[in-house]
């Protein structure tokens, strides 16, 4: 996305000719891809937005049950979103949806398939976490990025 916009700006000021459809491509492709394909990454890493006001005070067993419940709700919600967005993507495919920028038609129907794909990936990660939570098997997901509190300054005692 950055490269595309940079090329558009450079083309506009150096060649006095902007790249056609840059705004439409950024809105209909780049932003959707960045937004929906990163959802499964955040689910895998347990980095979704959360507020633990009460949950941290509960016993570990209750916290684990809440995690299982959250995974179940995620599977249901993202399963529904996958189905509903797949139906919408198929509608856009059937009509070969496009936007017109000047005299150029830019097909946007392929971008509609990114949304159900991203939701399906989240659903699969949540389903895996649900199965692990119900069976008591340790998840093989790489759910640890790093803990900011554990970072030390070089030369400083840990």
The answer to whether residue 13 is domain-embedded is yes
φ/ψ of residue 22, rounded to 5: -60, -50
pTM of the model: 0.79
The CA-based dihedral angle spanning residues 80, 83, 84, 85, taken in that order and rounded to the nearest 10 degrees? 120
- List pLDDT tens digits, range 101-138: 888 899 999 999 999 999 999 999 999 999 999 998 88
Confirm whether 144 is domain-assigned.
no
Is 62 inside a domain boundary?
Answer: no
Residue 60 lies in a domain: no
Containing structural domain, residue 112: 2-47+77-135
**14 within domain boundaries:** yes
What are the backbone angles phi and psi of residue 118, rounded to the nearest 5°? -65, -40
Q: How many domains does the chain have?
A: 1
């Amino acid at each position: 996305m950055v490269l595309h916009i940079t090329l558009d700006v450079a083309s506009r000021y150096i060649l006095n000719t902007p790249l056609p459809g840059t705004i439409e491509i950024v809105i209909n492709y780049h932003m959707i891809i960045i937004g929906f394909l990163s959802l499964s990454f955040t689910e895998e890493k347990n980095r979704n937005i959360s507020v633990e006001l009460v949950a941290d005070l509960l016993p570990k067993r209750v916290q684990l049950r809440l995690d299982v419940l959250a995974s179940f709700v995620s599977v249901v919600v993202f399963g529904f979103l996958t189905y509903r967005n797949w139906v919408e993507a198929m509608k856009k495919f059937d009509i070969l949806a496009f936007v017109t920028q000047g005299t150029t038609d830019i097909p946007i129907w392929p971008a509609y398939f990114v949304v159900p794909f991203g939701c399906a990936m989240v659903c699969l990660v949540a389903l895996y976490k649900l199965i692990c939570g119900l069976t008591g098997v340790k998840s093989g997901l790489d759910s640890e990025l790093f803990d900011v509190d554990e970072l030390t300054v070089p030369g400083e005692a840990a």
